[in-house]
Amino acid sequence: MQDQAQTLTITRPDDWHLHLRDGAALASTVPWSAAQFARAIVMPNLKPPVVDTAQALEYRARILAARVPGSDFQPLMTLYLTDRTPPQEIARAKASGAVFGVKLYPAGATTNSDSGVTDLRNVHGVLEAMQREGMPLLVHGEVTDSQVDVFDREAVFIERHLQAIRRDFPGLKIVLEHITTSHAVDFVLANDARDARGAPLLGATITAHHLLHSRNAMFRGGLRPHYYCLPVLKRETHRLRLLDAACSGDPRFFLGTDSAPHARGAKEADCGCAGCFSALHALELYAQAFEQAGRLDRLEGFAAHFGADFYGLPRNAGRVELRRQAWTVPLSLDYMDTSIVPVDAGETLHWRVAPAGAAATQA
């Protein structure tokens, strides 16, 4: 094709769902994300989890200290909701100006979720405070009931819990994180309430790997642990609904990589960890998905406008350039004293972010 665009310049994007980990990992994870994104909502599922504002501020300082000189990357912190979170913590979090959401992990749903919420009735007071303060609830939407098929856990969570949260806290801002099913898309589409600023009260993040892959990717020619994440990849019909939603231009759907680094050995194990690492090449992966759908023109809204609008933050002023250029995702990257395998390792991508300083401008 001759008339294909060779470059695509968009507003500098943000990542509205990211795992940076802590300690020595930050020396890798922070520069990787900062090379692609201006800001990121940073998940609190550390060991031990980030449960209060003081811990969030300390974690934020460690992230800022891991930036390369000249980087203006901004971590937007979150708290980890537990059965014992005091409702008064929400006002403290809001007043800090550094905490932008509170994450609900149903206990046992995923990596480091042991301290999560065992019964939503235990957090009603906190949810009330969040509704009052305008503090978003970020939801890992899966039931943990072992009787429920792992592929159905998101749909059942929506039915059993999310409908009730929406009904009981109609003014609460909610992000359904890393959605994977048509049920989640339908739930978001059916809830169009707005906050006082006219921004949606309910939004959803979508990962690049859920836009690009169905569950077949986990079993292509053998067991592929680097495609295992939670919520797990679903069947192709769901992937197509997600791609449709992401490319629709509806501001309730926005970018969240859920890039979740685990050392190679922790994934290639007899009980491997859940998580796909995509921070290195997130924007390129999203561009690949949007191009497949013939909607590259909708990438900018999804990646750089809608999330900021949802959170009531200014859109970034800088711009970033993607160039059409075939390149191969590395098979492995150095990560602390070990290595990490990026999602789609060894595959060819067709877009590449221009290096900062070339065309990317800092806001």
Q: What distance in Å separates the CA atoms of residue 243 and residue 208, rounded to the nearest whole number?
A: 10
The number of C-alpha atoms within 13 Å of 156 and in the hemisphere containing its C-beta is 14
Catalytic residue among 258, 297, 337, 344: 258
Residue whose CB is nearest to Zn ion in the complex, by number: 258
Counting residues that bind Zn ion (by CB under 5 A) gives: 1
Binding pattern to ligand DOR, positions 130-169, x when CB under 6 A?
----------x-----------------------------
Q: Is 42 in the site for ligand DOR (CB under 6 A)?
A: no
Would you call 258 a catalytic residue per the annotation? Answer: yes
Q: Which of residues 255-284 bind Zn ion (CB under 5 A)?
A: 258
Angstrom CA distances, 288 to 7, 55, 208, stand at 13, 37, 9
Helix (H) or strand (E) holding 74: strand 74-80
Q: Which C-beta is closer to ligand DOR: that of 175 or that of 230? A: 230
Q: Is 342 in the site for ligand DOR (CB under 6 A)?
A: no
Q: Which C-beta is closer to Zn ion: that of 103 or that of 161? A: 103
Whether the CA torsion 191, 287, 260, 72 is positive or negative: it is: negative
Q: Which of residues 185-244 bind ligand DOR (CB under 6 A)?
A: 229-230
Binding pattern to ligand DOR, positions 4-33, x when CB under 6 A?
---------------x--------------
Q: How far is the CB of 177 from Zn ion (least distance, A)?
A: 6
Q: What distance in Å separates the CA atoms of residue 206 and residue 16, rounded to the nearest whole number?
A: 9
Whether the CA torsion 225, 227, 230, 231 is positive or negative: it is: negative
Q: Is 274 in the site for ligand DOR (CB under 6 A)?
A: yes
Q: Is 300 in the site for Zn ion (CB under 5 A)?
A: no
Q: How far is CA 96 from the centre of its chain?
A: 23
Q: Which residues are bridge partners to 39 per DSSP?
A: 74
Q: From 254, 207, 205, select the one nearest 234 (Cα to Cα).
A: 207
Q: Which residues are catalytic?
A: 258
Binding residues for Zn ion, per CB under 5 A?
258
Binding residues for ligand DOR, per CB under 6 A?
19, 45, 110-111, 140, 229-230, 260, 274-275
